Structure 1
Amino acid sequence: MQRYFVANEQMSDKHVTINSDDAAHITKVMRMQPGDTIVCINQEQRALLCVLESVTLNEVTASIKEELFANTELPISVTIAQGLPKGDKLDFIVQKGTELGAVGFLPFSAARSIVKWDAKKGAKKRERLEKIAKESAEQSYRLMVPTIFTSSSSKQLTELINTFTACVVLAEEKAKANETSAFATQLQELSPGDSLLVIVGPEGGITNEELEEFERAGAKSCGLGPRILRTETASLAALAAISYHYELMR
Structure 2
Amino acid sequence: MQRYFVPSENWTDNRVIITDDDAHHINRVIRSRTGDEIICNHPNGKAAVCRITGIEKEKVDTTISEWLEESVEPLIDVTIAQGLPKSDKLEFVLQKGTELGAAAFIPVQADRSVVIWDEKKAEKKMKRYAKIIKEASEQSHRNKIPTVKNVTPLTKLVSESNDYDIKLFAYEEEAKTVDFQSFGKAVSTMRPGDRILIVIGPEGGFSSREAESLKQNKFIPVRLGPRILRTETASLYALASISYHFEELRWT
The TM-score bracket by the shorter chain reads over 0.9
Structure 2 alignment gaps of length 5 or more: none
Contact 1:179 1:223 in 2 (8 A): no
Q: What's the counterpart of residue 106 of structure 2?
A: 106
Contact 1:24 1:56 in 2 (8 A): no
| Deviation for aligned residue 1:121 | 2.0
In structure 2, relative to structure 1, the CA distance for the partners of 1:17 and 1:179 (3 Å cut) is farther
CA deviations over 1:62-121 (Å, ceiling 9, x no partner):
010011122111101111100000000001010000000001110011000000003222
Q: What's the counterpart of residue 82 of structure 2?
A: 82
Count of matched residue pairs = 250
In structure 2, relative to structure 1, the CA distance for the partners of 1:178 and 1:119 (3 Å cut) is farther
CA RMSD of aligned residues (A): 1.2
Q: Aligned to 1:45, what secondary structure does the other structure show?
A: coil
Contact 1:180 1:224 in 2 (8 A): no
Q: Which deviates more, 112-121 or 86-95?
A: 112-121
Q: What's the counterpart of residue 63 of structure 1?
A: 63
Contact 1:91 1:129 in 2 (8 A): yes
Contact 2:52 2:60 in 1 (8 A): yes
Q: Give me the identity figure in percent.
A: 45
Return the alpha-carbon distance in structure 2 between the equivalents of residues 98 and 179 of structure 1. Answer: 33
| Deviation for aligned residue 1:184 | 2.3
Q: What's the counterpart of residue 2 of structure 1?
A: 2
In structure 2, relative to structure 1, the CA distance for the partners of 1:101 and 1:178 (3 Å cut) is farther
Q: What's the counterpart of residue 228 of structure 1?
A: 228
Q: What's the counterpart of residue 240 of structure 2?
A: 240
Structure 1 alignment gaps of length 5 or more: none
Q: Determine whether 1:215 maps to 2:215.
A: yes
| Deviation for aligned residue 1:181 | 4.6
Q: What's the counterpart of residue 72 of structure 1?
A: 72
Contact 2:50 2:64 in 1 (8 A): yes
Contact 1:178 1:226 in 2 (8 A): no
Return the alpha-carbon distance in structure 2 between the equivalents of residues 75 and 29 of structure 1. Answer: 34
Question: Map of 1:194-213 to 2, 5 A cutoff?
Answer: 194-213=194-213
| Deviation for aligned residue 1:225 | 1.0
